[in-house]
Structure 1
Amino acid sequence: MLRIVAGGLLGGLLLAGSAGAQYGKVLFFEDFEGVTLGESTNERIGTSISENVATEPGTSSIPGVWSSVGPAGWTRDNAVSTYLGAPTVTTGVAGTGLADYGVDEWDGWNFANLDFWSTAAGDQDRSMFGATSNASGTVAVADPDEYFDLGSQNDAVNGGYYSTALTTASFPVSAGAVHGVGFDSSWRPEAFDDAALGDTYVNLNNQAVEVFVTYDNGVTGPVIDWNSDSASGGFKADAPDENLPADGSGPAFVAPAGVTSATLTFKLANGANDWWWAIDNVEVNDLTGGQGQVLFEDFEGVALGDSVNERLAPGANVTTESTGVTSILGVDYATQGVENAYSHSFPAGWSTDNTGTPGAGGGDDAYGVLEWEQWSVTDKDFWAEVGGSTRSEFTKASGAVAVADGDEWDDIGDPGDSGDLTTVMRTPAIDVSGETFISLDFDSSWRPEDNQEVALTAYLDGTPLELLRWVSDSSSDDYHASAVNEDVLLVVDTTGYSSVEFEFSYIGNDDWWWAIDNVQVRSGVIPEPASAALIVAALTAAGVFTRRMA
């Protein structure tokens, strides 16, 4: 993920996030990147990574990969005795805390580098976590499969099942308000195939999940639950890489009257030598607060029309004039437009300016490919198919996306001989009255070439503040290497301003492209505490602070 911070008058703050649908005020966010990871204990390197006691001769630990200590205020419980109010098969994590029993790294909920977890555990689809979701870096993991690789669950002295819980730090809530709960999740189920403690607990394993909220008055409420029993209504099939959005379409709760704060508990219960559950990017949003100061746009509401120059021919896609005939191997074939392909209309309040582009708006389909003569809203798959060249790798986006594509624009009539594709796209004005700072988050696909460059500018009460500039010249300080599937996040100081608009500009000429999706503006964002002092200091000194994180 690329994380960029930009300051207005008073600086800004660092945040990590993930794009989704409409959000309200962010009350809580944790991506575990502030957790200090230490060396492994039982996942050791010999001839390969294998599970051994720490004193095993000929083995060594791996530095900087896991921790049992989470973010400030987070707690874990390896003595869990209930699931959905009923007793668990056995209490807690069998053999928890024993040096020679159970792999310490997976002794209940722990925090681990995602690559280390998938490699040490032999993958088995663990590496899929983060392929499409925003999971990365450090994640929280409960993995009974790996835990029982050192010692047996059937051990008459130390054996049993695996039940563990992880509870967040306290966060504010609003009584009567709907709160969306979001997180990235990796889950693989398994049930009824493990004996524990001989004949006492035979095949009772049903690895199950429960998330619940606990308010400051001690009252609890359900958020989600699922299990591994395919015959039950709560069964959840394999989902090794999933995002549960905090927009109300996913998990949510309504805070009762009289409460002001709460915690969330993530519980995995009744696991044996089963699989795992891992989470990242935990977020809670007040969906009824700050709605007038929030924007989300995924372009799905734009009605797409038929293509004009990007046409279908038998066995091929061709770029040609709309008169509709193309020659293939010496034979002329009629062509036709593609349905639901693109539009130059934008959502309400959005605007474009293409006056710098030769021929734009003139309707001449023999001079520049009409679909791409400006910022366009297009079906992602249509765009990828007609252009190829890694456009299909923009997997964070889906459905309709906004595209500025100088490469495809120049494919008819050489309009680039007369000038560049020069186009800007601007959001509606967003009310930021009373807000100290807001975040802008969007998915981005950028491929540089020659003189192509782009910029993103915030207009604060009409005053421009450039947030980013990417150029294709590798010798420039503004050079941005190819990043065809990226999440971009900026936080902007809005103190003293009443409105902001964001403008995306593109200049290119037979180069490549810039495409975006899932544009999200949020207010009331909580930064990562460990980074705030550093970032404020940097912004005070330099005005803009830029940082990349994996």
Structure 2
Amino acid sequence: MRVNPQLRFSLLRLLLLLFIGVTCVSNASAQTVLFFEDFESLELGPNVDEGLIDDNPEDAVWSPVCGDGWTIDRSGVPGYGTDADGIVEFAGWNCMDPLWWASTAGGQERDLFLDIGEGVVAVADGDEWDDAFRAPGEMNTFLSSPSIPVSPGSTLDFDTSWRPDGTQVATVTASYDGGDPIELMRWESEDTDFFEPDRNPDFVELDTLAPAGAENVVFTFGYTRAQNHWWWAVDNIEYGGFREDFENTELGPNIEEGRAVPAENVWTKTAPDGWSIEDEVPGMDEDNDFNGVTEWIGWSFTDKDWWVGVAGDQDRSQFTEGVGTVAVADPDEWDDADHPDSASEGWYNTFMSTGDIDIEGVEQGSLNLKFASSWKPEFDADYQQTGNVVVSFDDGSSEELMLWESDQASDNYKPNATNEIVELPIDHPEGAKSMQITWGLFDAGNDWWWAIDNIELTGGGGGGSPYDFNNDGMVDVADIDLMLGEVKAGTNSGNFDLNNDALVNSADIDALLADGFNSFIGDSNLDGQFNSSDMVVVFTAGEYEDTVAMNSSWVEGDWNGDGDFTSSDLVFAFTIGGYEQGPRAAVASVPEPASVMGLLTGMVALLIVRRRRK
């Protein structure tokens, strides 16, 4: 059997690299992770109320086409035609019943257009489009008329409803005889020379700037740079002898708007094992018709993307530190269904507590609580949303670690912080053996929310092993492979971040081998040493620089977490400096050149001298 020339070259290249020299990388020890919770183990179930209100289809309310000869360009709508296109009825320009539009969108002044927009109107509504999961980016969509004979001296007239916000832009252009478009009108939402305030409702009359001799014209209504902004709607378009009121558009049933499809794995009230939730929420003991939105009665656990979508975002998507399943207390969404009056029956109060956390033997002054947080406050005469974190110990003592209030006049005022990492030091009593942590959201009504994720408690000394990632009571090769998987995934999960640098990478693999196994990178058989027997193990596996991607584990030579066994793994291992140094306690800073050269020369020779068998 001949040696693959590329394999031979790779080993010779590595031999040269290590002959030139390697450096020793120091390993920083980390605090012990005493407790970690990211809520990903929770089993989520179907939605109960949220997204199911007004679940009846309506027969004739919406159409993706608008009038004979009219065309709609949706190529600039992020995710259009996929499951990530937002609310489909509002993905780009669409035609619809204005009464249904105003009703299903919750009014917000859309109903003002009912005075002049009748029957069927054309709508581009970034606010409603953004109410479901969508691909990132801005909406750019264009509604174009059929080709119309030029009417010299005629103006383009139409009724409109325009509500500006953010970067949203409205334009009208005219293209004569297939030529370049001429901009007749430009309305912008930002503070520019083209800023246009609310025109809701209004009548627009535009000069059409027709060049001499032009025969035909196409008018295009552009709605661009829109995200979760407001809207533009038009109706009763007239030019010369042309008139379009969209009344000949055949409307069909609503697909998503107002009749969301039940989702299977999006929400649960069941907390992690050992945790508890104590709610004092108006109507919580009433039947389902008078307790607010069920999913948000106190702290709950939800798929973050689903929460963002059904709540219409409103900055919830900014919580990028939260991933997958997060814990949420959202009185804003809870208030979207009938419930007893909060002022007379009591405010929205909810408290979520961990189980007992073992802190026996932890050094005093070393405890630190860290978690991802999304907080949006609101304060008025009725609603005074407040949040706190309290720790209690087995000796009966407790301490409030933080207090956030929505009142700007308070010393404890906490402004918008929709995506941050919160760190709180904890000074536990001498002799304390266990503790609980409680997150409270209280004195709330129709306010905003608090969401948390990735809770981590660290401390010096004591606690269980931070290296038993699968919690099976053993620290073994399975835990190393879990670490390698985290490095490859690049998710930077806190319980794998052993050196507390907010990253999970090769430095954490080294920390795991050093502190969890008292050994070195390269110790594939986990006998506490990195030597020639480990090289035999990994080369026998036969995956060195093979053609199969991401197929190697720890015992097969993937030592740096990229999923493959290549020269990079060998460089990493020899750079750490543990080869043929015996147990780690007796390590020299850099492997002796002779031992490295002897090993690699032997490995190259092993491959080169193998003969082809007939």
**TM-score, with structure 1 as normaliser:** 0.41
Higher strand share: 1
Larger Rg: 2
The higher-RCO structure (CA 8 Å, 6+ apart) is 1
**TM-score, with structure 2 as normaliser:** 0.37
